[in-house]
Structure 1
Amino acid sequence: MRKKEKKKMEKVIVGLSGGVDSSVTSYILKEEGYEVTAVTLQVDKNSQGEIGEAKKVADTLGIKHIVLDVSEDFEKIVVKNFLEGYSSGTTPSPCVVCDERIKMKSLIDYADSVGAKYIATGHYCNLEYSPEMDKYLLKNAADIRKDQTYMLYRLDESTLKRMKFPLYNFTKTEVREMAKKIGLVTHNKKDSQGICFAPEGYKKYLQEKLKDKIEKGNFVDEDGNIMGTHDGYQLYTIGQRRGLNLKKPRPYFILDIRPSKNEILLGDYDKLFMKEVELIDYKFVVEIDKLLEVELMGRPRFSSHGSMGKLKRISEPGREDRIYFEYEEKNPQNAKGQHMVLYYGKYLVGGGVIG
């Protein structure tokens, strides 16, 4: 009698960062019967602690673990974009750039090299078919407070089709409880805060990296009157109120940053409100034509709950179409360089950099 052939397990590559979310993601996929390989990306010398914890998790779960050194590309792409953004007076989002051009690309490339069909991450979101848009789209997580679709808006359809998000239906509390129950060292690890390559804060990092280019300059009002002295325009962001060290009877907010003059414009909070913003370097998973006449929700920063509005396209002969998002009501959260991410209901449809 012939022995029943054992079904070949499908391979999945998990981005294991050394945090509780990716740890539990690895566990769930192994329990579901996948052949799991955990990949930890080394972005710089500060990654050693994360690598060590990731290895402990992999050993506990009995899965293969490898480390990929992506530090050179990380420096050339993510760090460079970060420094150039602040140097030009905009507010960059390094995590969005990293997810698109470093993390997911590295996982896909490695998966291709070992014949793995899928990649997986610990992001709180899901991939689901949208009948209205007739394609698979990222959908908000069940626990909206932890939703991370915003960070992934620049991924193309070919990448999304290969992704798995096991944490979609879980809350953070449930994930930690599961990690503790199975004995993972990451079960009580604090969530990462801020920028991974600037653990002491973005301002100190910029001061170190741009020290030869940072000079004191003037805060000015809309009439050109000098309001005070700043420590270097690269160290500030549009919308900022705290840390200006102004002894004034009322609060002032940063309305604009003018690198050519080493000058920062201050004004009242209501001057931050905008009716529409232009999107540059945009990427859409859904054809723009399908989105022009429908109500969308726009999130102009990761922490934003979103505001309703509509997409507009302006066509001019001889140049690329210009894309705008027009709010139903004015919004004060729009800093140049940040990302406006757009949703149709709970489905992510695209977005772009605020220009």
Structure 2
Amino acid sequence: MPANAPPPSPSATANSSLHAVVADDFAAVNRTILDQLASRVPLVETIGQYIIESGGKRLRPLLVLLAARSLGFEGDRHVTLATLVEFMHTSTLLHDDVVDESHMRRGKATANDSWGNAPSVLVGDFLYSRSFQMMVEVGSMRIMEVLSQATCTIAEGEVQQLTNVGNPDTDEADYFETIQGKTAMLFEAASHSGAILADATPEQEAALQHYGRYLGLAFQLIDDLLDYQGDAEAMGKNVGDDLAEGKPTLPLIQAMATGTPEQRTLIRRAIRQGGLDHLEEVLAIVRDTGALEYTRARAEEMADKALAQLDALPESLYRDSMAHLARLAVDRQS
């Protein structure tokens, strides 16, 4: 590092340490990603590479690698599996940004902002299709069953989230059902499929499946928390984006449950209208009602549940990294 370079951020340091135990595997995943992006249509490669290389944490492929290695997997099929899981995730990002009419992700212009909606949707379709080609290469019907079911659940979660937009009557149960589908499902499928690939015992397979589920829930809860108290530069998106889109996330749901009638009425109006006209008032309400602390407590609850699942695994550096990942999910700032 040059003498005048700033020190790495805590999150960057944590991410690098998470990947260190599977560094060789992860390098192979990165090579495979580039190989599998090959297409006879140049725009497919251009958009695919743009979003793949846009600075994501790549937690889902990391989960595949850690889960498989924690159970002693040898071979290279886990690299193919990790790559296809990343392609599934990337395709959902392309589609989500079109649906949400987003203009920025991870501090960069979204693909739909740069190339338009139609190319983004179609490249997302290409990546989904490529991921299913790679599932065939992995050669496990059980893994294909898990991942194909996951794609349906994720799509349902996205539609459910869309139907919740502008609906202030969305309650906590509705919210958790939505984030289980749209976010936690792919975390769950990643760790679950890694366990299946490694011929896990039934107990270990269930533990890794539930570890991914609880980790994904914790991750989304903190995402929704940061939308009301995060730093825009660190997050790579604007504070209040969820409110602007009329999304009733847990901070708003809890604030309506515990606030005064006047506070509840204002939040309901803000959700129905969308936009940022009421942002400062809503920020004050979610702070004053303790809704942010409540959301963090639910995230910590999910992280603790994820950690408890790891007792089914043998001691290893891979298990240690998964434990670290669960703690990082609630400690992060972006």
Select the structure that is richer in helix: 2
Q: TM-score, normalised by structure 2?
A: 0.30
Q: TM-score, normalised by structure 1?
A: 0.28
Structure with larger Rg: 1
Question: Bigger relative contact order, structure 1 or 2, given CA contacts below 8 A and separation 6+?
Answer: 2
